Amino acid sequence: MNEAETMILGYEGEYETGDNKQDKAIRANWKEVKSFDLKK
């Protein structure tokens, strides 16, 4: 598994609080982070 994917999965569990609105916003940030990691 890619390190970037693992990090995102970990954050998902910690950030998941039952708020779809917040989850969506956080997910958007994860996607951005993933892109940055790929660029590295």
Residue 14: phi and psi, rounded to 5, are -70, -40
Q: Where are the domains of the chain?
A: 3-39
Mean per-residue pLDDT of the chain:
59
Stated pTM of the model: 0.26
Instruction: Identify the pLDDT of residue 7.
Output: 53
Are the C-beta atoms of 33 and 8 separated by less than 8 Å?
yes
pLDDT band at 30 (very low <50, low <70, confident <90, very high): low
pLDDT band at 27 (very low <50, low <70, confident <90, very high): low
